[in-house]
Amino acid sequence: MKRTVVTAAVIAVTAVMTVSACSSGKSSGGGSTAVMSTDGKGKTITVWLQSDAQKGWPAVVDAANAEFEKQTGAKVTVQWQQWNNYTTKLDSTFAGSTGVPDVVELGNTQTASYIAAGAFKDLTSGKAQFDNSSTWLKGLEASGTSPDGKLQAVPYYAGSRVVIYRTDMFAKAGITNPPTTLDELNADAAKLKAAYPHDPNFSAFYMPARNWYAAMSFVYGAGGQIAMQQGGTWQGTLDSSQAQQGLASWQKIATDFSVGGKTKDESDQDAVMAQGHIAMILGNGWEVGSVLDPKTGNPKLKSVVSTFPMPGTAAGQYTPSFLGGSDLAVPQKAPNSGLGAQWIKAFTNTAQQTALAKFAIPNNTALLGTYEAAGQANQSTGEAAKNTWFVPNTPNWANVETGNVLQNMLEDIANGKQSVADAAKAADTKVAGILNAKN
Amino acid sequence: MTRLAAPPEAMPRPKKHPSADRPARRRGGRRYATWAWNALAMLLAVVFGFPIYWMLITAFKTSGDVTTITPKFWPRHPSLRGFAEVLHDPIFLDDMRNSLTITLSAVVISIVIGFFGAMAIARFRFLGRKVFIFAVLIVQMIPLLALTIPMSLLLDHAHLKNTTTGVIIAYLVFTMPYTVWTLRTFIANVPKELDEAAMVDGCSRWQTFYKIILPLVAPGLIATGVYGWILAWNEFVLANTLLLDNNKATLPMYLLYFQSSPVHGADWPGLMAAATLTSLPVVVLFVIFQSRISAGLTAGAVKG
Amino acid sequence: MTATGTSTGRRVVSPRIGRRGSGLAYLLILPAVVVLVGVTGWPLYKIIMLSLQRQDSGKFALFHSAGTTPFVGLRNFTRVLSDSAFWTVLERTLVFTVLNVGLSLALGMGVALLLNRVSKWARVILVAVLLFVWAVPSTVSTQIFYWLFSNQYGVVNWLLDRVPGVHMRGHDWFADPHQGLAVVTAVVVWGAVPLIAISLHAGITQIPRDVLEAARVDGASPWQAFTRVTLPFLRPLLIILMTLSVIWDFGVFNQIWFMRNGHPEPGYQTVGIYMYSEGVGSSHYNTGATIGVLMMVCLLGVMVFYIRQLFRIGDAE
């Protein structure tokens, strides 16, 4: 009578045991000789790229695939990804064995934690074979390099932030030239505010409080930084006098000249700007496209939207821009790792990067000229790309982002819940706690 | 389907049947009150329906009209761009087919399995019965987010990761327990005397299930099916983690394409058009089964 | 109610059936048991193991081999439980759950009673609206509510501002987490009412007419008829709906996550969000698993009473 239930239990236990036994994963591929391989006849490699490329520069991807297929005889399947839930997808795939791609794209602030986990192949010995590898953007290259100097991810593209502004509003406020110092920027913002006294929704400079990329630029511009390592231990440095000064000048813009963004981040600022009540935003160069895109913004503003690099404390200086971007890596468990590296080479070569330069900042300084020549906005972003800052390059950094430490600090400052000094001190403690965590 | 069509009057307790009640309430000059209740119902319909209305008109708006200082309660320049783009997108139709396969399979399997399980606990006393009920309850409590990666590893070992079958199996985790619970109360509501009588008449146990109980709980099967359908149809995290190939993606994954990414702003009219078209099959399903649902969503559960 | 007449008969019948058919019973639950054990058994086991292990050699070490990740007993639990943030989050979650479950059930019951009172055309319209509400994915409905409550562009502020004496222009609903969570409550309740209302409506239509008539003849007020006839009749159904609502609202994630655009402030953290940001999202799978286990323990604790009731539903008394 109870036989069935016993059988079921036996099956269940066996299942559990089998599964546990299997769960010790195989270590992948034996001693590899060369990083790259061109022997791909009859093979198909899988590439995970974010849909940014699908929407922005699909032709570049197609060209790289064609070139790669000609070189190796292998086929390429691109699986488009979304940033949402991406790390869970990567973690679960890397932990298992099914469907591990041969190339993955990663945000450059995520890369370090995967490098630390040993998720990627070491590409150091093939570095010279990647085009322009000697002139890769420093910040991007650093994000793909392990603490002991091994190249584990290849720079893909970057973005840098500039001021996107309304020329017509500037003209109405009597401003003829874009500001060249922060003081001038503040003075111009005040003029703009005065020029639109009857619009309660008017922002001379829309600065959503939770845009930490923007706020930290002021910190770095004032000579401060987020955190520094001393004797192997990380310390939060936001309460240094320089950092506080930077936060204070950010606070002035966020509270005096920005309306309606105190609990928001930058994700919808282009759509908000397209509504026509904003004179300036701090955004990536490509956001000009979003402001003007009929699907996401307002194409009628085409003739009145322009850009200039975010000025610094003195004329001729710029406020450093956060160097956001993406890297490409070959997973440790990739079935065709040599071909994967070869594909990265084809995708980041000079021809492809030159084509990419129409849409985003290429991965190297040699092509910055091409990039800047591609459009007005690019001059500003290209200029901005020469003076950039990057987050502390340590595996735990991603958790500072997940924990929203900086965003929460900024929101408290913007809403007057905490003074700059108190908020910075509290954030320092949290940042240090996360960066120094042992797991 | 023919089973489902079995007339509810087959139930041996004629008084139980709902539609008979209503005329009684109308007695005693309550028309005026009914009018007031109707007005209240319409007010509620407006309040509840407003966000839906907003979704619909956003789908027809041009991007510039989505968020405006003075809200636009009607699209100034109604545009079918969003709908046209989604409907002409072969990926949308592919993903719709994937969603249909996964949802339909998960729901049907969980109803079959759940019905058997519910039969057992509603009709039999056996050792381990409470343990079984408890296990069904516990499974509902596991946070899906914590379950995602272990589930992915399990399916990986079973060579079912990145397969539609794997996702169907994973979905049973949340569709089946509810089915067991709910069907159990439906079955318990069918008097046992009926089973007895049938068996005296020479029916086997299986025939009793099949010919007596199944038709009587048909509304319950539909109701639990619809519930499971909505959960599975809208699930995102598991599907996105388990399915690696673009051509296996489901509709909630498709919706993400319209959201903002670092390089592009969000296409809200497109997203709302896609969301409307995603919800529509569920609403159509509801409308088809509506009479049965309200007769049966919980017909069994109300046993006192 | 109807069962009272037959329950004596059942008492006699049940044991006999029980003895005769329990082999069959095991056969019947077999597929369900296979699914429970086969599909959730190992993941659940893995979650519990993770909560007892240390994660010290890279984020994937845990999944590669159990051998290299030492067991640390209950240390993960003491660490989570000794963090005051966890208790704040738990308290907030409990308050949120009570409010949301209460509101959903009360409103759902109200709508269900109303559906029973109105003319057919009104019922069809209201039910159709409820069905559509039910079918919309929570990610989409949260985005819509976010727009409706947006500070500069929101319909809600715009409408409230029309009311004489009320100045809501530019009011930011999300600056104060209490107000922000009130908006979240609106989405959650809005999304939960359809299932509850439609289920309860179906339940109410099945209350035998004679019982209500009898109550009326006895001079019961509508309220007394509701508390003495309708409520007891709907009790088993209410218990199921309440259990489900508690499980959902306690683990609420999407509505808060998307309302805060993926970056919930500390004041918005409920255990679901906390588990994600401390665990899964930052690849601290052991911490995530620990919080997940604690969530299950809390739910069990909260529902001890209901679990007893659940065991009873559908049993012959």
Q: Do C175 and A415 touch (CB under 8 A)?
A: yes
Q: Give the separation between CA A353 and CA A360, rounded to whole angstroms.
A: 9
Number of other residues whose CB lies within 10 A of the CB of residue C308: 10
Q: Which residues, including other chains, have CB under 8 Å from residue B224's CB and lie 6 or more apart?
A: B111, B114, B178, B179, B182, B183
Q: Which residue has the higher pLDDT, A146 or B1?
A: A146
Given a cut of 70, whether residue A7 has pLDDT beyond it is no
Which residue from A minimizes the CA distance to C61? A117
Query: What is the amino acid identity at position C295?
Result: M
Q: Give the separation between CA A109 and CA A140, rounded to whole angstroms.
A: 9
Long-range contacts formed by A193-197: CB under 8 A, 24+ apart? A193/A256, A193/A257, A195/A169, A196/A169
The reported pLDDT for the residue numbered C64 is 56
Q: Give the separation between CA A267 and CA A183, rounded to whole angstroms.
A: 27
C-alpha atoms less than 13 angstroms from C-alpha of B236 in its C-beta half-sphere? 16
What is the three-state SS of C170-205? Answer: CCCCCCCHHHHHHHHHHHHHHHHHHHHHHHHHHHHH
Q: Hey, of A84, A98, A203, A264, which one would you mutate to test binding to chain B, going by the most B CBs within 10 A of its CB?
A: A98
* E strand or H helix that includes residue A325: strand A324-329
Return the CATH class of domain A35-159+323-389: alpha beta
Considering only CB atoms, which chain A residues are within 8 Å of B257? 51, 82
- pLDDT tens digits, C16-27: 444 456 788 899
Considering only CB atoms, which chain C residues are within 8 Å of A275? 153
C85 — contact with chain A (CB < 8 Å)? no
Distance from CA of B154 to the nearest CA of A (A): 7
Question: Whats the size of chain C, residue-wise?
Answer: 317
The reported pLDDT for the residue numbered C206 is 73
Given a cut of 50, whether residue A29 has pLDDT beyond it is no
Distance from CA of C91 to the nearest CA of A (A): 20
Considering only CB atoms, which chain A residues are within 8 Å of C60? 91, 94-95, 117-119
Given a cut of 90, whether residue C207 has pLDDT beyond it is no
- pLDDT tens digits, B212-264: 788 778 777 877 888 889 899 999 999 999 999 999 999 999 998 888 777 77
The reported pLDDT for the residue numbered C63 is 56
Instruction: Name the token pair of A60.
Output: 């570049």
A276 — contact with chain C (CB < 8 Å)? no
B244 — contact with chain A (CB < 8 Å)? yes
Contact B167, B243 (CB under 8 A): yes
B270 — contact with chain C (CB < 8 Å)? no
Instruction: Name the token pair of A272.
Output: 């908000």
DSSP B35-87: HHHHHHHHHHHHHHHHHHHHHHHHHHS-GGGSS-SS--SS-SS---HHHHHHH
Q: Which residues, including other chains, have CB under 8 Å from residue A177's CB and lie 6 or more apart?
A: none
Q: Do B260 and A267 touch (CB under 8 A)?
A: yes
Considering only CB atoms, which chain B residues are within 8 Å of C35? 113, 169, 172-173, 176
The SS3 assignment for A436 reads coil
Q: Which one, of A325, A329, A322, A355, lies nearest residue A130 by Cα?
A: A329
Average pLDDT over residues A98-122: 92
Considering only CB atoms, which chain B residues are within 8 Å of A89? 240-241, 244
- Cα separation of the two ends of chain C: 12
Q: Do C172 and A260 touch (CB under 8 A)?
A: yes
Which residue from C minimizes the CA distance to A277? C152
Given a cut of 80, whether residue B9 has pLDDT beyond it is no
Average pLDDT over residues A217-241: 94
Q: Do B283 and C131 touch (CB under 8 A)?
A: yes
B149-178 residues touching A, CB cutoff 8 A = 149, 152-154, 156-159, 161-162
Contact B61, B72 (CB under 8 A): yes
B246 — contact with chain C (CB < 8 Å)? no
The reported pLDDT for the residue numbered B26 is 46
Average pLDDT, chain A: 88
Which residue spans of chain A are classified as CATH 3.40.190.10? 35-159+323-389, 161-322+393-435
- pLDDT tens digits, A294-318: 888 899 999 999 999 999 988 888 8
Distance from CA of A407 to the nearest CA of C (A): 8
For B149, the closest of A83, A95, A98 (CB atoms) is A95
Interface pTM, i.e. ipTM:
0.85
Average pLDDT, chain C: 84
Range name among B120-134, C48-62, C116-130 with the lowest pLDDT average = C48-62
Distance from CA of A49 to the nearest CA of B (A): 11
The reported pLDDT for the residue numbered B294 is 53
Q: Which domains does chain B have, with CATH numbers?
A: 8-19+80-302 (1.10.3720.10)
Contact A241, A219 (CB under 8 A): no
Q: Give the separation between CA A393 and CA A108, rounded to whole angstroms.
A: 10
Contact A45, A102 (CB under 8 A): yes
The reported pLDDT for the residue numbered C239 is 85
The reported pLDDT for the residue numbered A33 is 54
Given a cut of 70, whether residue C272 has pLDDT beyond it is yes
Q: Do B263 and A97 touch (CB under 8 A)?
A: no
Q: Which residue has the higher pLDDT, B118 or A1?
A: B118
B1-60 residues touching C, CB cutoff 8 A = 13, 15-21, 24-25, 33-34, 37-38, 40-42, 44-45, 48-52, 54-55, 58
Q: Which of B78-87, B191-200, C187-196, C204-213 has the highest mean pLDDT?
A: C187-196
Q: Do C314 and B149 touch (CB under 8 A)?
A: no
Long-range contacts formed by A373-378: CB under 8 A, 24+ apart? A376/A306, A376/A307, A377/A162, A377/A164, A377/A285, A377/A288, A377/A306, A377/A307, A378/A285
Chains adjacent to A (≥3 CB pairs closer than 8 angstroms): B, C
Q: Give the separation between CA B87 and CA B93, rounded to whole angstroms.
A: 7
Average pLDDT over residues B27-47: 85
DSSP chain C: -TTHHHHHHHHHHHHHHHHHHHHHHHHHHHHHHHHIIIIIIHHHHHHHHHHHB---S-TTHHHH-GGGS-B-TTHHHHHHHT-HHHHHHHHHHHHHHHHHHHHHHHHHHHHHHHHHHS-HHHHHHHHHHHHHHHHS-HHHHHHHHHHHT-TTT-HHHHHHHHSTT---TT--TTSSHHHHHHHHHHHHHHHHHHHHHHHHHHHHHTS-HHHHHHHHHTT--HHHHIIIIIHHHHHHHHHHHHHHHHHHHHT--HHHHHHTTT---GGG--HHHHHHHHTGGGT-HHHHHHHHHHHHHHHHHHTHHHHHHHHHTTS--
Q: Do A19 and B157 touch (CB under 8 A)?
A: yes
C39 — contact with chain A (CB < 8 Å)? no
Q: Do B133 and C210 touch (CB under 8 A)?
A: no
The reported pLDDT for the residue numbered A13 is 37
A49 to each of A57, B237, C260, how far by Cα in Å?
11, 19, 26
Q: Do A25 and C64 touch (CB under 8 A)?
A: yes
Given a cut of 70, whether residue C288 has pLDDT beyond it is yes
Kindly provide the residue ranges of all beta strands, DSSP E only, lying in B151-279, ordered along the sequence.
none
Q: Do B286 and C190 touch (CB under 8 A)?
A: no
A333 — contact with chain C (CB < 8 Å)? no
Q: Give the separation between CA B18 and CA B186, rounded to whole angstroms.
A: 16
- Does C75-312 carry CATH code 3.40.190.10? no
The SS3 assignment for A105 reads strand
Query: What is the amino acid identity at position C278?
Result: E
Considering only CB atoms, which chain B residues are within 8 Å of C311? 130, 133
Report phi then psi at B203, rounded to 5.
Answer: -75, 145
- pLDDT tens digits, C160-187: 999 988 888 889 999 999 999 999 999 9
Q: Which one, of A345, A332, A327, A328, lies nearest residue A32 by Cα?
A: A332
The SS3 assignment for A120 reads strand
Average pLDDT, chain B: 81
The reported pLDDT for the residue numbered B46 is 96
Q: Which CATH number fits domain A161-322+393-435: 3.40.50.2000, 3.40.190.10, 3.40.50.1820, 3.40.50.1260?
A: 3.40.190.10
Kindly provide the residue ranges of all beta strands, DSSP E only, lying in chain B, ordered along the sequence.
none
Average pLDDT over residues C245-261: 93
The reported pLDDT for the residue numbered B30 is 64
Q: Which residues of B182-193 are buried (b: 16+ CB within 10 A; e: fewer)?
A: bbbbbbbbbbbe
- pLDDT tens digits, B134-160: 888 888 889 888 888 889 989 998 999
Domain spans of chain C, in order of start: 11-52, 75-312
Strands A75-81 and A44-50 turn out to be parallel
Q: Do C134 and B230 touch (CB under 8 A)?
A: yes
Q: Which residues pair with A47 in a beta bridge?
A: A78, A103
Distance from CA of B8 to the nearest CA of C (A): 12
The reported pLDDT for the residue numbered C225 is 86
Contact A52, B264 (CB under 8 A): yes
For B63, the closest of A18, A284, A296 (CB atoms) is A296
Q: Give the separation between CA A270 and CA B250, rounded to whole angstroms.
A: 29
Q: Hey, of B17, B69, B181, B302, which one would you mutate to test binding to chain C, going by the most C CBs within 10 A of its CB?
A: B302
